[in-house]
Amino acid sequence: MITPRFTFPLGADFKANGILKNYFDTMLDGLTGNLDKLFYPFNTDCWAKSSFTDGGLEGWWPYEQYAYWLDGYAKCAYFSGNDAHFRKAKALIDKALQVVSENGFIGAKELQKQGEGNQWVHAVFFRAVLFLYEITKDPTYLEKITNHYLSGTNDYANWRETVNVESMINCYSYTKDQRLLELAVSAYEKHCQIEGNIETKLSDFNKTAPIKLHAVTYNEMVKIPMLLYQATGEEVYLSAALNGLKRIDDHHLLPIGIHSGCESFANTTALSAVETCDITDHCLALYTAAKITGDSTYLDRIERIMYNLAPSVMDKEFKTLQYLSSMNQVISTHYSNHSGSFTFTPRMSYQSDHYPECCTGNANRSMPNFFYYAVAKAENGVAFHFYLPGRYCFDGECFVVQTEYPFTERVNITYCGKGTTVLLRKPGWCKEFLINGKAYDTATGFVDISLADGDTLAIDLKSQLQLVKVAEGYMVVKEPLVYTLKITPDIQLDPIESRVKEGYPAYDITPASPWQIAIDKDLFSKTAVLHTGKCNTLLESDTVITAKGYLMEGVTLYKTHTDEVFVSDYDKGEYIKMKTTGQVYYSGELYFTPDLKTLKPAGYQQVDITLVPYATAMLRWTIFPEKN
């Protein structure tokens, strides 16, 4: 077995502080800490039911959505140091592990049926279970997972059920039970022989064409050959998986650091949508690659996604979210979904619950996973992947990180222990990396520093304000932050959305200030000024950029009539289903964010503009067209 370059330290006690602790507390006060009292299926305690009928459940998908939430909830509660919430999350997981058949299978009896994707849900749930093992070192959790996989109820060769190889390999890395490895290898070998497993076979990952598949499925499956490489040392697995990630970058990567996806992969314009589930799932694929190869460029990508996109799809109270979001999105209402997928649904609006509920559950995982990845054990010391404020204790050593990075450039680390080496990640964008005032460079992405008890490090990650040329215009960055135009939002309650609870609303948000801004490169470069300010969480910061731009006269929202909106056959089926649940009402005019290539300004007026961190904006104009 190949030892991963980075591993989560068993028995670790990681606790967030500062702006990240505030973020986790906001999560627990909002959806993350309360979903079990609010919406289906999170209010069903479905994993504790012995059958679908006991819980009034309609199939495997409620188990997936509930497990997404439970994984995020357990990690968020633990990392925030909230004992009450952690005890509740742990009790829910422990209770679910008591629903065991005689053969060792965990979960409702209907989930044992093969051929319908039922057991994909265990791949999600067992992430939460393995996390409990890693922080408690209680072998009961490994025994439960092992007995489940050896129950003989599935060969794990079909569709996303093969994602269970992830849990098999992770469990095997601790138990060294050869039967788990044999089952994992057999499952993927069989998977690759099934013609219907489209785009997820080893030969598929070696292709070079754009990907035609549900993006979550691809992200979940592209990790599997990496993990099989970890377990077997067979290079063929790793090379295929890394090429599978390259296919994403070659055809679907957006400047925000993630690929497009409206369920399936899509194009790469300013309007291209990102599904919230993919924020978590793509970062997990990237981290798996980094963990196994040691390549820090995957970590750079995660950092851009997590400091910008991940917080932006939530409101500041973590009580509403978007199912789909985009870099340019100046209207967010029940009917403003411009993605071309699920047109007559509120997927691009901020609301407390979306159908289906996958994103409502999965949004709770992204930031806790980011902290989970932040510090790891390496072969020659302790690796700092991300500079997240917190206390990281394990193996008799403790590191305290204090910072308001990425809103500032300074990170302070204090060490207590017997002495160790730390591997400090130097981001690829960082031209000047200072440690206690001394500049360091590296070809590996990490700078090695020896520490003794009581040592402190003052790290400065220097970056410059940049105007970056992209396909359709310009994007403003001060790494690792992306900036977007400050648009005053007019926030109203959605009068027709029924999927709400008291205190957990749905919003119609329209622009109450100009958004029709173009940029002249020379004028912007001469006038742009960064103003640093206080921040509370990653959702709020007073840091802004002021500059001069051009108001495009005569440019308005794109308007069309409902009869003229193209709806694909796939969307029609979803539309009919949603109509039966009372979610779809439409008639008359619809308004969408315009496509940059369709803009025809009648003139330009020079104006002052203010840009804000992407993470803090609910409406966005991020890709600026160039003034003609």
Distances (CA, A) of 298 to 276, 289, 309, 427: 19, 7, 16, 10
Residues of the chain with pLDDT under 50: none
**DSSP state at residue 4:** P
Q: Going by DSSP bridges, is the β-strand pair 544-553/558-561 parallel, antiparallel, or unpaired?
A: unpaired
Q: Omega before 495 cis (within 30°)?
A: no
Dihedrals phi, psi of 165, to nearest 5 degrees? -55, -35
pLDDT digits (tens, 9 = 90+) for 22-65: 999 999 999 999 999 999 999 999 999 999 988 778 899 999 99
CA dihedral (64, 69, 70, 74) positive or negative = positive
Q: Determine the Cα–Cα distance for residues 531 and 70; give it in Å rounded to an integer.
A: 39
For residue 125, give the nearest of 71, 82, 162 by alpha carbon. 71
User: What torsion do the CA atoms of 323, 326, 329, 334 make, to the nearest 10 degrees?
Assistant: -20
Provide the β-strand partners of residue 482.
Answer: 477
Domains of the chain, CATH where assigned: 16-154 (no CATH), 378-462 (2.60.40), 465-621 (no CATH)
pLDDT of res. 584: 62
The whole-number pLDDT of residue 370 equals 98
Residue 622 in tokens:
């991020």
CB 549 within 8 A of CB 522: no
Give tens-digit pLDDT for 207-224: 999 999 999 999 999 999
CA dist 299 and 293 (Å) reads: 11
Residue 628: Cβ within 10 Å count:
11
Are 154 and 114 within 8 A, CB to CB? Answer: yes
CB 184 within 8 A of CB 231: yes
CB atoms within 10 A of CB 281: 24
What pLDDT, on a 0 to 100 scale, did the predictor assign at position 343?
80
For residue 406, is the peptide bond before it cis, meaning its omega torsion is within 30 degrees of 0? Answer: yes
Exposed, middle or buried, 232 (CB in 10 Å: 0-12/13-18/19+)?
Answer: middle
Phi, psi at residue 483, to the nearest 5°?
-110, 150
C-alpha R_g of the chain: 24
CA gap 210, 248 in Å, rounded: 8
Question: Residue 477 and residue 486: Cα distance in Å, rounded?
Answer: 14
Burial 61-98 (b: 16+ CB within 10 A, else e): bbbbbbbbbbbbbbbbbbbbbbeebbeebbebbeebbe
Model pLDDT, residue 115: 82
Largest Cα–Cα separation, the chain: 74
| CB 505, CB 493: distance < 8 Å | yes
DSSP structural state of residue 596 = G
Separation CA 131–CA 86 (nearest Å): 12
Burial class (CB in 10 A: 0-12, 13-18, 19+), 472: buried
Identity of the amino acid at 70: L
Q: What pLDDT shows up at residue 580?
A: 72
- pLDDT attached to residue 359: 98
Query: Is-cis flag, bond preceding 62, omega within 30?
Result: no
